[in-house]
Amino acid sequence: MRACEPLTGSVGVPGDKSISHRAAILSSVAEGVGRIEGFLQADDCLRTADALRALGVYIDPLGADVIEVHGEGLDDLHAPDRPLELGNSGTGMRLLMGLVAGREFATTFTGDESLSRRPMDRIARPLEQMGARVEGRGERCMPPVTVHGGHLRGIEYHSPMASAQVKSAVLLAGLSAEGRTTVVEPAASRDHTERMLAAMGADIEVDGLAVTLRPGRPLQARSMRVPGDFSSAAFLLVAALLVEGSHITTGEVLLNPTRTGLLTALQAMGADIGIAGRHEEAGESVGDVSARAGALSAAEVGGDLIPRMIDEVPLLAVAATQAGGTTVIRDAGELRVKESDRLAAMAQVLGAMGGQVAEREDGLEITGATPLRGATIDSRHDHRVAMSAAVAGLIAEGETVIEGAECIETSFPGFPAALRGLGAECIEEEE
């Protein structure tokens, strides 16, 4: 990466990762054929689809932009003949743990080195309260994890954190439970699972921060189009905000309010961002988002906003290096148990590039505006860290080399090509 001329033009982004996971999983236990257009062809989602195949679900053709999932209901899932290898996909592992918890067989989940360090206890606790048995490594129940499914009972679970993965796993288990299942969160997390369950005919009710599922209604398969991933578009939009003279538009992007906290934070910092063509696709808000370069000011970001931008916090840290004053990011301790410790990783990345960053227990303090310089960056095999470093490299003096950048394929295949299409100098080197 090198500092570049203004970024200009319109660009599309791959299908939303969160919705792709859920579309495949829920279609697999619905009745009928679910046609999913725009399914994300990234490693994380392909791992989920492959795991569903191992559970007996017919998916065709895997590896295409449009797939068909032939569901025959919950009872048609069967014991896999091998451990389910989820690679780096924490979402896939956690949601599938909930799906199989009510089945009368054992399922073992494995992952790569990074996923094997991520705690699954937050999923194991509610599933065990419902009647499943979960085994993992150590006190935090790290993978490999085995879920011994069985007869489940509905519970009212008060989640200690706002987590869409926890909420979704419990709701998926609730499909097989006796009696209703309620999840209450301390703050709103992304709500794709409950939206999709409702669209497929589930008896589900949302009341503020509580979601209640009453089992018994078979899910009905439907055709759907996956909108562009906001989390992917965000990297291109922030790049345009920071590279002088830039103006870009990302089209047909998911605008679910539980996902667009970054837009709220950036607008509080004075960012020139616009939304046009807003409409609905399968119950989700979609539109075109544009960004124009301009001066930014520091802000304090925390509280209920963090769950709405949890994947974009590393990127916000990059933007904060170019904002006048000291930006404080707080209440983001969840980032320490992602693909990497993202707070420590971004403090190290931006510090190596000349940024003024102080790491806090639950966040970061970044003082700007500060000129950045190129550096060799260890991505820690974390796609969000790698892409954030790439955006920083676009405004840094000299060359920025990102080691382990192949991890970007887990969520945004074609990211370097998208940057080049907007005018960036981005060279991919073969290993």
Number of separate domains in the chain:
2
* DSSP 8-state code for residue 312: G
What Rg, from alpha-carbon coordinates, does the chain have?
A: 21
Residue 2 has pLDDT above 80, yes or no: no
* CATH assignment at residue 91: 3.65.10.10
Q: Is residue 190 part of a domain?
A: yes
Give the separation between CA 412 and CA 423, rounded to whole angstroms. 18
67 in any annotated domain: yes
C-alpha distances out from residue 338 to 36, 79, 88, 100, 423, Å: 28, 29, 10, 23, 31
> Each residue of 346-364: pLDDT tens digit?
999 999 999 999 999 999 9
Q: DSSP string covering 59-117, please?
A: EESTTSSEEEEEEE-GGG----SS-EE-TT-HHHHHHHHHHHTTSSSEEEEE--TTGGG
Last residue of a domain, one of 197, 225, 253: 225
For the residues 3-15, what does the mean pLDDT come to? 91
Same domain, residue pair 372 and 307: yes
The answer on 265 and 184 residing in a single domain is no
Say yes or no: 268 and 123 in one domain. no
- Among 194-208, 274-288, 324-338, 385-399, which stretch is predicted with the lowest mean pLDDT? 274-288
Q: Which of 179, 177, 198 is nearest to 127 (CA)?
A: 177
For residues 31 and 179, membership in a common domain is answered with yes
Give the range of the structural domain holding residue 23, as residue numbers without chain letter.
17-225
Q: Specify the amino acid at residue 161.
A: M
Point out which residues pair with 37 in neighbouring strands. 66, 225
Identify the active-site residue in 191, 311, 341, 382: 311
State whether 114 and 208 are in the same domain. Answer: yes
- Checking if the pLDDT of 431 tops 60, the result is no
Q: Is there a contact between 127 and 109 (Cβ–Cβ < 8 Å)?
A: no
- Structure token digits, residue 15: 């299908």
- Please tell me the distance from the alpha carbon of residue 197 to that of residue 239, in angstroms, as a whole number: 35
Same domain for 299 and 233?
A: yes
Q: What is the mean pLDDT of the chain?
A: 95
Summarize pLDDT for 203-214 with one digit per residue, the tens.
999 999 999 999
In-domain check, residue 2: no
CA 271/CA 43 separation, integer angstroms: 32
Collapsing DSSP to helix, strand or coil, 136 comes out as strand
Cα-Cα-Cα-Cα dihedral of 344, 270, 243, 371, to 10°?
-50
The residue whose two tokens read 């451990």 is 83
Domain boundary among 225, 241, 274: 225
Q: In terms of domains, do 240 and 368 share one?
A: yes
Same domain, 24 and 102: yes
Which pLDDT does position 329 carry in this prediction? 98
Query: For the segment 13-67, what is each residue's pLDDT rounded down to a tens digit?
Result: 999 999 999 999 999 999 999 999 999 999 999 999 999 999 999 999 877 889 9
Q: Is 311 a catalytic residue?
A: yes
Looking at 225, 257, 284, which one is the last position of a domain? 225
Same domain, 146 and 278: no
DSSP annotation of 2 reads: B
What does DSSP assign to residue 216? T
- 197 and 162, same structural domain? yes
Q: pLDDT tens across 162-179, in order?
A: 999 999 999 999 999 999
Is 309 a member of any domain? yes
